[in-house]
Amino acid sequence: MKIPLKDFFPPVLLKYLGRYHIGAIPFLPCTSWEEAKGRSTGYDSDRILEKVRGSLLKVKNGEAIYERDSVLFDKVQYSWPLLAGLLWIASRKDNRLNLLDFGGSLGSTYFQTRKFLSHLKETRWNIVEQKKFVECGKRDFEIDRLKFFYDLDACFQEQHPDTILFSGVIQYLEDPYGMLEKAKSLGFEFVLFDRTPLLEKGGDRITIQKVPDQIFPASFPCWFLSQERFLEAMGDRYELFADFEGFDKADVQDSVFKGFIFRRK
């Protein structure tokens, strides 16, 4: 089973929201994925790509300290729970990290964490993304430690990663549970999630996420998964090692953005 990337929303736009003090992210209710997709305006991925590319090139070339979603900062803003999870995994693997970053843009999380990973014996950070991002990544950013792939299977067959990371991305897939089954079938030893919107009560819910105009004029389908169902879906093959709350907020009742660290049973 291959999970198409052409329709999933680049996580870069979700992460933009953390840059602006705009309160809760607005979401509109929908009855189906098809309705949400039909009522969404879409986005100009070429424009996003060029903005991210320009900023990350400055980070890569030492002209800037840190980039998140094309915005440059003079200080790195770490996701400490995620970083702790990565270092914990590496410590269990002879100080080696071999990770598949699904929907990882042009390496934003890699550049964010590389200072803390530089002492490892080996780091292999593999990104699976949309075609245009992969083409750009291969051309402008790929190095021995950082590789780009068009699909999950190709990455797994070449690099054999033992860890997969979903950071702000699973909710934008039309079939998120299908993606979870795919990841489980490949037998990753560790599965990490960050910035994932869940519902503490009730079942799965489909919404339209509205991006504020001052960030980027767009809207797109987005799942709020049932936390109970999500944990059950992972629990048949994986045990929950740790969970943590993300910093995103939504105007959806009983919702929370969370991260998780799972290890294979």
Tokens 């933009």 belong to 16
Domain assignment present for residue 238? The answer is yes
CATH of the domain at 260: 3.40.50.150
Identify the band that residue 205 occupies on the pLDDT scale cut at 50, 70 and 90.
very high
Residue written as token pair 């870069």: 12
Per the prediction, the chain carries an average pLDDT of: 85
Which carries the bigger pLDDT value, residue 107 or residue 176?
Answer: 176
The encoded tokens of residue 100 equal 């598949």
Q: Number of folded domains in the chain?
A: 1
Give the structural domain span for 42: 11-264
Q: What is the structure's pLDDT at 16?
A: 44
The 8 Å CB, 24+ separation contacts for 146-154 are 146/107, 146/110, 150/5, 151/2, 151/3, 151/5, 152/2, 152/3, 152/100, 152/102, 152/128, 152/182, 152/183, 152/186, 153/2
Q: For residues 250 and 190, give the distance between their C-alpha atoms in angstroms, rounded to a whole number.
A: 28
248, part of any domain: yes
Among the listed ranges 27-31, 74-78, 142-146, 228-232, which one has the minimum average pLDDT value? Answer: 74-78
Has residue 6 got a pLDDT over 70? no
Return the pLDDT at 119: 96
Q: Establish if 196 belongs to a structural domain.
A: yes
Report if residue 171 sits inside a domain: yes
When mean pLDDT is compared over 10-24, 178-192, 245-259, the highest value belongs to 178-192
In a domain, 5, yes or no: no
Q: Does the pLDDT of residue 4 top 80, yes or no? A: no
Q: Is residue 1 part of a domain?
A: no
For residue 16, being part of any structural domain is answered with yes
Render pLDDT for 111-169 as a digit per residue (tens, 0 to 9).
889 999 999 999 999 999 999 999 999 999 999 999 999 999 999 999 999 999 999 89
- Tens of pLDDT, residues 41-52: 765 567 778 877
Directed axis angle between helix 45-60 and helix 131-140, to 10°?
20
pLDDT of residue 18: 40
Examine residue 210 and state whether it is found in any structural domain, yes or no: yes
pLDDT at 22 over 50: no
